[in-house]
Chains A and B, each alone.
Chain A
Amino acid sequence: MEARPRPVVAVWKFASCDDCQFSLLDCEDELLALAGAIDIAYFAEASSTLRSGPYDLSLVEWSVTTTEDERRIRRARADSKQLVTIGACATAGGIQSLRNFADVKEYIEAVYASPEYIRTLAASTPIAAHVPVDFELRDCPINKHQLLEVISALLAGCKPAIADESVCVACKKRGTPCVMVAHGTPCLGPVTHTGCGAICSSYGRGCYGCYGPAEAANTAALARTWQALGADRRSIHRAFRSFNAAAESFRKESEAHGDENPSR
C-alpha cells in the first residue's frame, strides 16, 4: 500500500489564554502518536520551525481583537483547506468579549497608564464573523478527547461525532442527582453544551456555562427557574455574561436581565 502524505496542520493564536492549543500537548499518551500521524507545520508555542501554508487543517484559538488579527485570519483561511475554531475565544469571543458591552476606551484607561499606546478593536469577535469556519468547538477550555476526535474525523473526511446535547443529559446518563432539584443550587446545565461530562454537578456546584450554549437552549425558561430559586436579576444577568457572553442566546438572555455592564 502506498503511504499517504501526512496531513499538514497549523495552530494559530492571538487573544486567548493558550490553553486550547496546549490541549494538544496535554495529550500525554497520544502526543507522540499524533505527531507521527500529522505534520504540524506551524505551532509557534511548541516549535521554532514555522512553515508557511498551504495547510490541510488549521486550528484557530483566538478571538479577533485587532486589525492585525483580521488580516491574519483571512490569510490563515486562504491557506487552509479546513479551518476549525477551538474554544470559546475563537468561537464566541471569549471572556474578553465583555468589552463588547462596555466602552473599550474606558477599559483601556482602567488598565493602562498610556492609553495612546494601545491599539484594539471595540469588540472581541469570533472567527466566524470574519471567515467561514468548518467546525466549532466552543468549550472554555476544550477537552482533549473532543480535540482528537475533531482532528481525526476531519482529516478522514467525516463529521466529528460530537453530540449536541445539554449538560443535563450527561447528569442523567451518569445518574448524578440534579443540584437544582436536590440543593436548589442555580445551574446553567440545561442550556449548556455537553462535552465536559457534567463535572460541576459531580462536585456539587452548578454549571457556569463554560462549554457555551447548547443548540435550541431555552434560556428564558431556565432564567425563570433561577428566579424561583431566589436568584436576583443581576446574578442571572452575570451568569449569562461570562466566557460565552457574545454567543447569541446567552447575549440575548443577559440583556433581558438588565443591559448594565457588570463591570461599570
Chain B
Amino acid sequence: MATKTLRVDYLTRVEGEGALELDIAEGAVVGGRLSIFEPPRFFEALLRGRDCTEVPDITARICGICPVAYQMSAAYAVESALGIMVEGPLRALRRLLYCGEWIESHVLHMVLLHAPDFLGFPDAISMAASHGETVRRGLALKKAGNEVLRLLGRREVHPINVRVGGFYRVPSRAELAPLAATLEAAREQAVALARWVATFPFPDFKRDYEFVALRHADEYPLNEGRIGSSRGLDINVADYESAFEERHVPHSTALQSVLRGRGSYFVRPLARFNLNHDRLGPGLEAFAAGLGLEPGCRNPYRSILAHAIEVVYACEEGLRV
C-alpha cells in the first residue's frame, strides 16, 4: 500500500511556529505529526532562583497574546505555595482582568486568525474588503477588552499591575465606572459576532474526544477550580502530575501532554463549555443552543462558537463584577 506524505512547512495564522505532516494511504489519513519548531526559551530553567514576586512578570513573556493567563497561573501557584488566598473584591477584579483578556484574545483568534479559514481568505485584511463591517466590529470588541486590560493592568500587553497577593494599585470606583458602558456595548457586539460565526459552513465531523477543563463549584471557571474531564477525571490542580504526563518527542520542541493511561485529550473553550455549560446561566446556555452549540459537542470546527459564547460570557461577567 503506497503512503503519501503531505507536508505543510509553516502553519500560518497560528501563534507559534509549527509544521504539519500527514501520511495518507488510499485516501485516508493514517498518521500525522505536528512539529513545533519554535526554538525553546527555557522558562522552566530560567525561573529557578528568581524571587517569587518576579515570576508573574517573567511568565507573561511566554506569550504576548494571553499574558494574563500566564501571570494569573504564576500568581496562583506562588500564592498556593505561600498559603495565601486572594479573596473578595481583589479576586473579583482579577476575574474582571481575565475577562478583558478573554475578550481581546478570543476575538483576535476568531476574527483575525480563524474566520478567514471558514470564508476562504488568506487573512482578515483581505476578508475586510467584503466583510468590512464584521471585521470592524471585531476590532471594536477587541478594543473593549483592551480597555479593561489597560485600566486594571495598566497596559494591554504584559500588564504591570498583576502582583502576587493582588495588584500594585487598585483602580478607584470612579475609574472603574466607565467600563460598565464599554462592556454593555461590547456585549451587544459580542452577540452579533456570535450570530455571524454561527453562519459559517461547519463540516460535519465528530470525534470521540476526552474533554479536559477546570470545573468550579459555582462559577464558569477562569482561574480556579478542580481539573475535570468528560470521562470522570476530577482532581486537585496540585495533583496534575499524577494524572498527566508531558512527553518529549523527537520532532517537536513543545512537550506533548497526555492523560496517563488514556492518551490525548481536548482542551480550550469547547472543552470548557462542554464541562461547564451549566455555569453560563440559563439565558446564555439557551443562546448557545440556538446558535447550534449544544453541550457535548464533539465537532472541533464548532470550537469557534464556544469562543464566541465565552466572549459574551466575559462581557456579562465583567458587568457583574
Do B125 and A47 touch across chains, with their CB atoms under 8 A apart?
A: yes
Interfacial chain A residues near B17, Cβ < 8 Å: 13-14
Within 8 A of B (CB), among A40-83: 40, 43-50, 65-66, 69
Do B41 and A96 touch across chains, with their CB atoms under 8 A apart?
A: yes
Interfacial chain A residues near B196, Cβ < 8 Å: none
Contact of B61 among A17, A111, A203, A235 (CB under 8 A): A17
Q: Please, how many angstroms separate the alpha-carbon atoms of A203 and B15 in the complex?
A: 31
B58 at the A/B interface (Cβ < 8 Å)?
yes
Contact of B46 among A19, A49, A99 (CB under 8 A): A99
Closest residue to B155 on the A side, CB-wise?
A199
Do A32 and B63 touch across chains, with their CB atoms under 8 A apart?
A: no
Q: Please, how many angstroms separate the alpha-carbon atoms of A96 and B112 in the complex?
A: 28
Do B46 and A107 touch across chains, with their CB atoms under 8 A apart?
A: yes
B154 at the A/B interface (Cβ < 8 Å)?
yes
Interfacial chain A residues near B126, Cβ < 8 Å: 47, 49
Contact of A47 among B40, B54, B122, B139 (CB under 8 A): B122
Q: Please, how many angstroms separate the alpha-carbon atoms of A50 and B12 in the complex?
A: 9
Contact of A196 among B108, B155, B168, B255 (CB under 8 A): B155
Do A111 and B42 touch across chains, with their CB atoms under 8 A apart?
A: yes
Interfacial chain A residues near B135, Cβ < 8 Å: 32
Interfacial chain A residues near B62, Cβ < 8 Å: 17
Mask for A225-264, Cβ within 8 A of B = 1, else 0? 0000000000100100011000000000000000001111
B92 at the A/B interface (Cβ < 8 Å)?
no
B13 at the A/B interface (Cβ < 8 Å)?
yes
Q: Please, how many angstroms separate the alpha-carbon atoms of A141 and B140 in the complex?
A: 22
Do A44 and B41 touch across chains, with their CB atoms under 8 A apart?
A: no
Most-contacted residue by chain B among A20, A95, A107 (CB, 10 A): A95
Interfacial chain B residues near A205, Cβ < 8 Å: 160-161, 163, 168-169
Interfacial chain B residues near A50, Cβ < 8 Å: 10, 12
Contact of A45 among B14, B67, B142, B160 (CB under 8 A): B14
A215 at the A/B interface (Cβ < 8 Å)?
no
A146 at the A/B interface (Cβ < 8 Å)?
no
B124 at the A/B interface (Cβ < 8 Å)?
yes
Within 8 A of A (CB), among B110-158: 112-113, 116, 122-126, 128, 132, 135-136, 139-140, 142-143, 146, 154-158
Interfacial chain A residues near B124, Cβ < 8 Å: 46
Q: Which of A2-10, A114-122, A128-136, A157-165 contacts B (4 or more CB under 8 A)?
A: A114-122
Tell me the smallest distance from the CB of B280 to a CB of chain A, in Å: 27
Interfacial chain B residues near A204, Cβ < 8 Å: 168-169
Do B44 and A114 touch across chains, with their CB atoms under 8 A apart?
A: no
Closest residue to A142 on the B side, CB-wise?
B157
Can you sample 25 A-B contacts with CB below 8 Å? A14-B38, A17-B63, A18-B64, A19-B65, A22-B108, A26-B142, A28-B142, A28-B146, A31-B125, A35-B125, A40-B125, A46-B113, A46-B124, A47-B13, A49-B126, A50-B12, A99-B46, A106-B45, A107-B45, A111-B42, A114-B250, A117-B250, A120-B39, A199-B154, A199-B160
B interface residue numbers (CB < 8 A to A) = 10, 12-17, 38-51, 54, 57-58, 61-65, 67, 108, 112-113, 116, 122-126, 128, 132, 135-136, 139-140, 142-143, 146, 154-158, 160-161, 163, 168-169, 247-250, 253, 255
A interface residue numbers (CB < 8 A to B) = 13-15, 17-20, 22-23, 25-26, 28-29, 31-32, 35, 40, 43-50, 65-66, 69, 94-96, 98-99, 102, 106-108, 110-114, 117-118, 120, 124, 140-141, 143, 196, 199-200, 202-205, 208, 210, 235, 238, 242-243, 261-264
